[in-house]
């Protein structure tokens, strides 16, 4: 597979012509990270956004007390750290800015492309097609954040966990086969439970207890990273 073929896996670039992809490749840089490697810190000056060709990345913040919170979990096809590109249009000051959070590869051989800010912005201004793609990807993220923030405020940890599992199951069900009625469904967690805790806005101990609770109530069964939900159709109805 050539580099420009790989780029088509990234949603933002998926409808570009080959010559446009070549153009992007010319001014960008591809790099492979192993599990646990930092892609950027929130103290580094901003130089451009990233696209994930393959792998898994967490975007997170650390509180002064040292607690971690994962804002986003992104995998193959996603882009991240685009927001600071639009900073200069929003801020009155023209000061240099940093990355808004930390990014870490959480899977071995995570392959990313870094696209420099200035080159891409001129590209963007001349490409309504890629503008629309980017608007879609922003819209998707806004939608996620809106519902996630509501869930953090209004739901307890157990309900947040259940919603997470159900969402994963739904992806699975529609991907594999189009079963409308899906009672039992098994997923494999693709992240560690501590990352999941941090993503759900809690800590590992509390998450562990929530898993326990759902098992005791006979809603799910857990075997290591394998989670089976007993009656998806029913659960979907009650977690609304």
Partner DNA sequence: CGTAACCTTGATTAAGATCAATTCTCGTGG
Partner DNA sequence: CCACGAGAATTGATCTTAATCAAGGTTACG
Distance CA 85, CA 48 (A): 7
d(CA 102, CA 212): 31
Q: State which residue, 4 or 133, has the beta carbon closest to a copy of itself.
A: 133
Between residue 189 and residue 228, which ones bind a copy of itself under the rule CB under 8 A? Answer: 201
* 221 near DNA, rule: CB under 7 A: no
* Helix, coil or strand: residue 176: helix
Radius of gyration of the CA atoms of the chain, in A: 20
Q: Which stretch binds DNA (CB under 7 A): 23-31, 94-102, 164-172, 207-215?
A: 207-215
Taking the complex as a whole, the smallest distance from the CB of residue 2 to a copy of itself amounts, in Å, to 27
Residue 125 binds a copy of itself (CB under 8 A): yes
Instruction: Name beta bridge partners: 38.
Output: 104
Give Cβ neighbours of residue 109 (< 8 Å, ≥ 6 apart). 32, 33, 34, 54, 55
**Angle at the Cα of 209 (from 207 to 211), degrees rounded to 5?**
70
Q: Binding to a copy of itself (CB under 8 A): which residues in 72-111?
A: 82-83, 85-87, 89-90, 92, 100-101
158 binds DNA (CB under 7 A): yes
CB of 237 to DNA, least distance (A): 21
CB of residue 151 to DNA, shortest distance in Å: 11
Find the binder of a copy of itself among 38, 139, 171, 179 (CB under 8 A).
Answer: 139
């Amino acid at each position: 597979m050539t580099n420009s073929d790989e780029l088509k896996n990234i949603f933002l670039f998926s409808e570009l012509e080959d010559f446009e992809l070549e153009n992007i490749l010319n001014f960008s840089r591809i790099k492979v990270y192993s599990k646990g490697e930092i892609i950027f810190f929130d103290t580094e000056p901003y130089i451009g956004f990233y696209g994930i060709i393959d792998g898994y990345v967490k975007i997170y913040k650390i509180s002064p007390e040292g607690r971690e919170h994962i804002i986003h979990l992104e995998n193959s096809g996603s882009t991240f750290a685009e927001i600071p590109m639009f900073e200069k249009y929003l801020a009155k000051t023209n000061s240099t800015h940093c990355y808004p959070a930390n990014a870490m590869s959480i899977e071995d051989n995570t392959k990313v492309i870094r696209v420099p800010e200035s080159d891409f912005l001129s590209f963007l201004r001349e490409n309504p097609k890629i503008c629309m793609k980017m608007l879609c990807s922003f819209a998707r993220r806004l939608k996620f954040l809106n519902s996630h923030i509501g869930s953090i405020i209004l739901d307890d940890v157990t309900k947040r966990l259940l919603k997470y599992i159900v969402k994963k199951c739904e992806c699975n069900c529609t991907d594999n086969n189009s079963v409308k009625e899906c009672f039992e469904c098994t997923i494999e967690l693709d992240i560690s439970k501590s990352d999941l805790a941090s993503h759900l806005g809690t800590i590992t101990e509390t998450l562990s207890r929530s898993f326990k609770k759902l098992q005791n109530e006979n809603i799910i069964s857990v075997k290591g990273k394998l989670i089976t939900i007993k009656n998806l159709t029913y659960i979907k109805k009650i977690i609304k």
